[in-house]
Structure 1
Amino acid sequence: MEFCDDCGSMMKAVDGVWECGSCGFTKPKGDAAQYTVTDSQEATEIIESSEETSLPETDAFCPECGNDRAYWYMQQIRSADESETRFFICTECEYKWREDDN
């Protein structure tokens, strides 16, 4: 994502250049290698599960293997005025499922 140097609006990539839809300012599109992810930015939204995890555990029935324990976390995936979605990861088979409020 790139922002206009003149007016600050978000620019669009058009044929190898960045073009501002508001004021018409253009500049060459840089190499993808020049963009970096800092420590404060997340490179991914995916939460990987492993043998050692900091996620809390709870009693939850795994629909895949029948285990009765799972790690869990909550994530806002719909509009802000709706409740969060609960995600579970089985402690045995690492099957992942979600539970929505209906």
Structure 2
Amino acid sequence: MEFCDDCGSMMQTDGGMWVCQSCGFEKPRDSEKERQFQEATTESQSSDEGVVDMSEVDNSEIGPTTTVICPSCGHDRARYEMKQIRSADESETRFFTCVECDHKWREDDH
């Protein structure tokens, strides 16, 4: 990825050139720099993909828990995680998993 030296916009490739779609600035591509960047980013990625077996992991080791009533079984403990699923100016969404029955639900902070 390259950014325009003149206006700072993200540039696009056009053959052997980087071209700014905003102001028209052009500069030649540097194939050695691009190759080094590609190698650096692919080396840091793990090739170990697939399903993780959690069957022998104790529930207490999976993540934090909190006191909350499960809407399915009424138990008062659940694991939770928070994720940003809406725009950045909105609060995070809390996802719960009951430690008793594994029921999953979410709670939006308003």
Instruction: Give 1:93 shift.
Output: 6.1
Name the Cα RMSD after superposition. Answer: 4.0
Q: For residue 39 of structure 2, what is the aligned residue in structure 1?
A: 34
TM-score norm. by structure 1 comes to 0.50
* Deviations 1:11-44, CA, capped at 9 Å, x for gaps: 23556865432423352674684241787xxxxx
Please tell me whether Structure 1 or Structure 2 has the larger radius of gyration of its CA atoms.
2
SS of the residue 1:36 aligns to: helix
TM-score normalized by the length of structure 2: 0.48
Q: Distance in 2 between matches of 1:94 and 1:13?
A: 49
Percent same amino acid at aligned positions?
42
Q: Which of the numbers 88, 91, 94 marks the counterpart of 1:86?
A: 94
- Summarize the Cα distance change of 1:6–1:82 in structure 2 as closer, same or farther, 3 Å threshold: closer
Unaligned stretches of 5+ residues in structure 2? 45-51
Equivalent residues in 2 for 1:72-83 (5 A)?
Answer: 72-83=80-91
For structure 1, which runs of at least 5 residues remain unmatched after alignment? 40-47
What is the count of residue pairs matched by the alignment?
A: 89
